[in-house]
Every structure is written in structure tokens, then in C-alpha cells.
Amino acid sequence: MTKESIICAISTPPGSGGIAVIRLSGKGSIKLTDNIFTTPTGKHLQKTPPNTASFGEIKNKNHLIDQVIVTTFHAPHSYTGEDTIEITCHGSTYIQQQILQLLINQGARLATPGEFTQRAFLNGKIDLSQAEAVADLIASTSAGMHKLALNQMKGSFSNKLSNLRSQLLHFTTLIELELDFSEEDVEFANRANLKQLATQIKQHIKHLADSFNVGNAIKNGIPVAIIGETNAGKSTLLNLLIGEERAIVSPIHGTTRDIIEDTINLSGITFRFIDTAGIRETTDTIETLGIERTYQKLHQATIILWIIDLTSTPTHLKELASIITPHLKNKETILVFNKSDLSTPTQSNKKRQLFNPIKAKHITISAKKNENIDTLKQHLLEAAAIPEISQNDVIITNVRHYEALTQAHSAISRVLDGLDQNISADFLSQDIRECMHYLGEITGQISNDEILSNIFQHFCIGK
């Protein structure tokens, strides 16, 4: 258990609401709350059973602050592993601040960001990856991110890593035992079995690390660059997809000169749309800067929506294709032929054929008439290629975890190389322990103050 002071904080979002929750944690927090809280029967919170909600009043001397419900949680059966109190009061900011000040006057102090969860980690209630999942769950904005955060918070990732570390620990113990009997030339760790285990662990680590691309896309959204010439309908399409007038739509060429971004959620997946400046020859300095940014965003995006104006001449479209096509290498591209309402089917087909050499999906739409937009959204989901996630899937979403897995993969690869080269046991043991070290960094079995500070300072206060 940590030997910290009593901490308190408002755990609900800032501002007025129907109710608010104020949380306390630490040894003596129940007794402290008794000093400002009274029940109709006069019964003290210290004498109520654990996990009990009690109705009563909070007073500042004889002045009534609010009628509240106080829930008590006794150590170690609480979120933090310490005695914990949750005060549910009315959502007035005045009431919240008055209660918070009373608690501070009684000896509590304001909690720092993430300090409740940090105490849960330090008291062994959760490991570090589960603590990070708490922050991800709070920040989740899509069904996919919500599911991944819940899976990690329940310990599926931690259990997998713990299993890998325990297997490695068994072998490194045997190898180090050999070192103690080095003069007798004995072998306790079967090298064939160790090689088989190291191969399996390497595969597991690689599988986890490879899942980061999917996890990162689900967590942060899939970047989609909307590109094309001026007045092709890029801003109209962006406004249509996000459902509001986010970008200026004008018949004047070069209206969009800067990058405009917004997100939508499709089937639980977040797409981050980037409306870019139209690509064309121009002498306008500001517009030229916008076009340069267009190419930057194009290279950063995962999916490209290339909007093609069906009212443009074939010659102009060929010139445009020669400019843009070289930038599409290794990009998931959807060619969106816009303004079908202003072009006959025969004209549209001829112009679409000009782009047949480009290996990409083709779709004809009218952004102005809202035609074929649902099909375009389906193409986006297919281009995202996000697999169906089950409750048992472990997907990496955290950069820190990915970097640690990469280091662990390098270490276990050295173990396999060492076994092939028949290197001495002390070098094998060193590489195995390095692999265990990086796996332990993820869960917090091996951590330092800098890592902990960096993780918890990004939490919200009260969690």
C-alpha cells in the first residue's frame, strides 16, 4: 500500500450539471468525511458496511451546503486499493467548490492528474498497461476504440505478456544455474526446447507489434486526404460527409488555400478527412503554399480520395493525371468522379476510361445532389481494411507499447542467433533478460519515475 496523504478531486466534467461526484482516497478518508457529513440517524460512515451508499447532509459548521449521497469503499476493495469515498452532490459549481474546500480544510489535498489511477497501479490493483487503457477508455470516441480499451483494461494484453515473461524466466533461471556449475560443464536448459520457445515468443511479439498499425488507425482515426483540381467539388464533398458547412464552397477557383480537417464515424471507425487546396498552376503565393501542403498531406494520408471533375476536358484531365499519379504510390486510392449531374453517361464513361491505367477503385457521384455517397462510404470502409475485433483480440494502440515490443523482438532474435552460433550461457541469459525487461516495461513490472510521470500527467484530474 502507498503511504500517501488523502487526495480529493471532482471526478465529473467541469461545469454545472444534474449531479457531480467528488472522490477521496487514502487512509483516513472515511473518518475525514465523517467530520463534515451527517446522516438523519446520526450514524457514522466508519460504522457502515463497505460499499454502502448513505444519504445525508454536508455542512460548513451550521451552514447547510447540500444534501448528498456518500458511498464508502474499504481498503483493499476499492479502485485505488485504499479507503475511498465518493460524494454525489448536486451539480452546481458553487456546491462542488464548497465541498472540495471543506475537504481540504479537514486535511485532504487536491489530487494531481491521474493520481487515483496511479495509486491503483502502485497498490497492485492494475498494471501499467491497464492504467493506460483507463485513459484510452475515457478518450474513446468510436466503438472500435471503446472495445480495444475495454479489452486491455480487463487484462487480456497483460495476461499474454505475463505468460511470455514467465516462460522466459524459467529458462533464464536454468541457464544461470549452469553458470553456477560452469566448472562441471553441465547443461540444465535444453537448447532445443529453448530454441522452440524463443521461436514461438518471437512470433507472438511480432504479431502484437504488427497489430499496431490497425490499433493506431482505430485510436487516432484513419487520415483521408481529399485531393484534386480547383472547383472539382472537394469542399462540397467534405461538407456532405461530415454533415455541416465546414469548408467554404465557391465557384471561384482557389478558394481553399489552407488545410481543413474534420472527422466522422463510420461503423465504429473514425475517419479523419483532410480537405486540401486545389492542385493547379498558379502565381498566387498563398495558394502555392496551400498546394505544397496538399502534397504533404497526401503523403501522410492512408487513403486518398481523388476528386475528378467530369465537366473538365479530356486534355485537361490527362494533364492533371500526369501531375498527381506519381504521388499515389503505395496509397489506397479511390477515384471519385464528381458532377455526374452535369455530364451525360457517355461523356462520363469516356473520361473515366482515361484513368483505367491507375490501379484504384472508381466511383461516380454527384456531391451537389448527394448521389452515390453511401456507396462511397462503403468504399472507405473497405479501403480502411480494419478487421473485425472480438473480445479476445489483443491489438496494440500505444506507441510506448509498440516501441517496447520492437526492442523485445530484437532481443529474442539475438537469443535465436546465439543458439544457432552456440554462444556461451552468460550471453544467452543477458539477451533473455533484456527481452523480459522490455516486456515488463509495458506492464510496469519494470518502470521508473520518468515513465510513470509521463503516463499519468496526461490523465484528467479526478481519475
- Do the beta carbons of residue 237 and residue 363 sit within 8 Å? no
Q: Name the nearest CA neighbour of 229 among 206, 256, 204, 207.
A: 256
- In order, the DSSP letters of 298-355 are HHH-SEEEEEEETTS-HHHHHHHHHHHGGGGTT-EEEEEEE-GGGS-HHHHHHHHHTT
Pairing state of beta strands 7-10 and 19-25? antiparallel
Q: Where do the domains of the chain lie?
A: 7-125, 133-211+394-444, 221-384
Q: Which residues contact 340 (CB under 8 A, 6 or more apart)?
A: 310, 348, 364, 365, 366, 371, 372
> What amino acid occupies position 117?
T
Question: According to the model, what pLDDT value does residue 248 have?
Answer: 43
Q: What is the DSSP letter of 390?
A: -
Q: What is the pLDDT of residue 255?
A: 45
> What average pLDDT values come out for the chain (463 residues) when binned by 10 residues?
78 89 96 95 92 94 94 95 96 95 95 93 90 87 82 85 86 73 60 87 93 86 85 84 60 48 83 73 54 70 88 85 80 90 88 87 90 92 81 83 95 92 85 91 79 78 83
Class of domain 221-384: alpha beta
CATH number of 7-125: 3.30.1360.120
Residue 234 has a pLDDT of 83
3-state SS of 109-122 is EECCCCHHHHHHHH
CB within 8 Å of 26: residues ≥ 6 apart: 4, 5, 6, 7, 82, 83, 108
State the pLDDT at residue 6.
Answer: 96
Residue listed under C-alpha cell 499515389: 328
C-alpha cell at 323: 501531375
Cell of 125: 490493483
What is the DSSP code (8-state) at residue 25?
Answer: E
**CATH entry 2.40.50.140 includes domain 133-211+394-444:** no
